[in-house]
Chains A and B, each alone.
Chain A
């Protein structure tokens, strides 16, 4: 097998043979075969390394252990769902029975309070990261446009942006937690406090790349386009709407992609530190748990986190391809 691969690779580099290879084959080689080889080699290294690392919780999980754990975590999720359903059915029956005895009885409905499964945590994290990211975009894009348009505003805001940009999310977290606890008080909160804390932390961290990219995009507006706008005497609002905004779409998207990547990293860390529901909490709980399964469950989480981060980035890229006029943007 590996000799066949080696042959294919050397053939591809030999110009004489390459000329004879049909294009679709070359494309196939590039798009499918090479990444597959990369992954296989990685898996090989991983399993060799894993079998040589002993920890206090047993051997480091190898690919097979992770694969088994994926099935395991899914089964646990389905089990939990079944329990939840059974719980609600029992409750309904009980309430119906009491209502039959006593017509004045007001039925109490209790929510199911089982432990969140891995799948639940994935969705929690996804919802949190998207909310934090969207909130940041809603603030950052108009702010970036304003800063890009006005030199004075730029000079005024620049120091603040430069100081806050490198701050780690973990430094924000205690402050955000305290402030949310103090200010977000209602008897029936629409969102859980932990969700709000995670979301705001994400927002604070992905605000800056978007503000900076948007403002740079706006400020480096092609002067010819500005002149077109001046010759047409476009009113200020129309100038922004028809020239500035579309012209900075590529820069805005670059900022958004950067921010989403940061947001996802920040969120996992914040969830771990603050014990807020999500994938980060899953990892932390497993670590504290310290069973023989823990490491393989954590490793599964690590891979899932990576896959989701990758998927988020590709989604942004696809969105950019569809929405942006600049089709020359490098795809990497």
Chain B
């Protein structure tokens, strides 16, 4: 087998907290080939973002490490572009300028000013944002902001694109649009992608492999599901595809039978009641 592009090698992540060390991840091990689309799925708080942040270099793994093209990475860099959950565009810059900041930084030596301009516009066009290039983030919708965030990441021409619940904050309709756009872009560019999601349909629709994580603490990879659906994929046709439904139920089974979170949800709910009671008492 050829060497993987990205090798997440047995990483442990321990956070020092006031109450002692907290082991978030234990022996997370994953190899990703070039051009693969990977989804990370798991219950809230299991450590998905932590995995992504370690790959991005924003966190340093306590044990183990991440190899990109056989070389260890231990700081962030534009070859591992990140699309953050809440777009994180700089609000004082227009859509164009947000992408420009990235392009100017990455291609300072290799592109002329005219080439950079063309490249920025190309990427904004790719996410269908060319009509609102010169608007500021507060003048465009949530979905449009997320598109610009994706354009900014794509414009860095990353070797791995990391996305932390990129569509989590969007309504269902906009999310479907964005997924279609992403598949379109993926057809064209064939990027290597790791995407975190909470949405089972999204995971099956978009991924080549779905990585399912166990609950924390000391979360690790529970199962990996190969999704062998033909591309291009069409959400309507797939709804009736038995294979699609089989994948879907496999993920659901993992999440809701093997890794149920009943206990914690129960205690969390109790805590909620308690705190609201307290609030009432305070306000009275």
The answer to whether A224 and B88 touch across the interface, beta carbons within 8 angstroms, is yes
Bound: A243/B57 CA distance, A: 20
Query: What residues of chain A lie closer than 8 Å to B91, measured between beta carbons?
Result: 325-326
Bound: A243/B86 CA distance, A: 17
The answer to whether B138 and A327 touch across the interface, beta carbons within 8 angstroms, is yes
CB nearest neighbor in B for A222: B88
Bound: A222/B80 CA distance, A: 21
CB distance from A240 to the nearest CB of B (A): 14
Query: What residues of chain A lie closer than 8 Å to B75, measured between beta carbons?
Result: 230, 233
Query: B182 interface residue, CB < 8 Å from A?
Result: no
Among A207-242, those with CB < 8 Å from B are: 222, 224-225, 227-228, 230-234, 242
Bound: A307/B60 CA distance, A: 57
Interface of B is mostly: loop
Query: What residues of chain A lie closer than 8 Å to B57, measured between beta carbons?
Result: 230
Contact of B88 among A228, A233, A246, A327 (CB under 8 A): A228
CB distance from B119 to the nearest CB of A (A): 15
Interface of A is mostly: helix
Query: A126 interface residue, CB < 8 Å from B?
Result: no
The answer to whether A232 and B92 touch across the interface, beta carbons within 8 angstroms, is no
Bound: A224/B138 CA distance, A: 17
Among B138-185, those with CB < 8 Å from A are: 138, 156
The answer to whether B76 and A227 touch across the interface, beta carbons within 8 angstroms, is yes
CB distance from B246 to the nearest CB of A (A): 37
Bound: A325/B88 CA distance, A: 15
Query: What residues of chain A lie closer than 8 Å to B58, measured between beta carbons?
Result: 227, 230-231
Query: A249 interface residue, CB < 8 Å from B?
Result: yes
The answer to whether B77 and A231 touch across the interface, beta carbons within 8 angstroms, is yes
Bound: A133/B203 CA distance, A: 57
CB distance from B149 to the nearest CB of A (A): 9
CB distance from B82 to the nearest CB of A (A): 5
Contact pattern, A 137-151, Cβ under 8 Å of B = 1, otherwise 0: 000000000000000
CB distance from B154 to the nearest CB of A (A): 13
Query: What residues of chain B lie closer than 8 Å to A230, measured between beta carbons?
Result: 57-58, 75-76
Among B23-42, those with CB < 8 Å from A are: none
The answer to whether A228 and B90 touch across the interface, beta carbons within 8 angstroms, is yes
Contact pattern, B 101-115, Cβ under 8 Å of A = 1, otherwise 0: 110011000000000
CB distance from A190 to the nearest CB of B (A): 38
Bound: A231/B161 CA distance, A: 12
CB distance from B252 to the nearest CB of A (A): 31
The answer to whether A231 and B76 touch across the interface, beta carbons within 8 angstroms, is yes
CB distance from B187 to the nearest CB of A (A): 25
Contact pattern, A 288-332, Cβ under 8 Å of B = 1, otherwise 0: 000000000000000000000000000000000000011100000
CB nearest neighbor in B for A228: B88
Bound: A114/B34 CA distance, A: 86
- Indicate whether A249 sits within 8 Å of B88 (C-beta atoms), given known contacts A230-B58, A231-B78, A233-B105: no
Bound: A247/B80 CA distance, A: 24
Query: What residues of chain B lie closer than 8 Å to A228, measured between beta carbons?
Result: 84, 88, 90
CB distance from B155 to the nearest CB of A (A): 11
Bound: A243/B98 CA distance, A: 11
Contact of A227 among B82, B105, B106, B156 (CB under 8 A): B82
Bound: A222/B106 CA distance, A: 23
The answer to whether B138 and A232 touch across the interface, beta carbons within 8 angstroms, is no
The answer to whether B81 and A231 touch across the interface, beta carbons within 8 angstroms, is yes
The answer to whether A225 and B90 touch across the interface, beta carbons within 8 angstroms, is yes
- Indicate whether A243 sits within 8 Å of B105 (C-beta atoms), given known contacts A227-B76, A227-B84, A231-B77: no
Bound: A326/B76 CA distance, A: 29
Query: What residues of chain A lie closer than 8 Å to B136, measured between beta carbons?
Result: 325
CB distance from B281 to the nearest CB of A (A): 31
- Indicate whether A225 sits within 8 Å of B88 (C-beta atoms), given known contacts A231-B76, A231-B80, A231-B81: yes
Bound: A325/B137 CA distance, A: 10
Bound: A298/B35 CA distance, A: 80
Query: What residues of chain B lie closer than 8 Å to A246, measured between beta carbons?
Result: 90, 92
Query: B56 interface residue, CB < 8 Å from A?
Result: yes
- Indicate whether A233 sits within 8 Å of B92 (C-beta atoms), given known contacts A227-B58, A227-B84, A325-B136: no
Bound: A249/B91 CA distance, A: 12
The answer to whether A243 and B90 touch across the interface, beta carbons within 8 angstroms, is yes
CB nearest neighbor in B for A324: B92
The answer to whether A234 and B105 touch across the interface, beta carbons within 8 angstroms, is yes
CB nearest neighbor in B for A224: B88
The answer to whether A232 and B101 touch across the interface, beta carbons within 8 angstroms, is yes
User: Which 10 interchain pairs have the tightest Cβ spacing?
Assistant: A224-B88, A325-B92, A230-B76, A246-B92, A231-B76, A232-B105, A231-B82, A224-B84, A325-B91, A228-B88
Q: List 15 A-B contacts (CB under 8 A).
A: A222-B88, A227-B82, A228-B88, A228-B90, A230-B57, A231-B82, A232-B102, A232-B105, A233-B77, A233-B78, A233-B105, A242-B101, A243-B90, A247-B92, A325-B91
14 additional contacts (CB under 8 A) given A225-B88, A243-B90: A224-B88, A227-B76, A227-B82, A227-B84, A231-B58, A231-B76, A231-B77, A232-B156, A233-B75, A233-B76, A233-B105, A234-B105, A242-B101, A325-B136
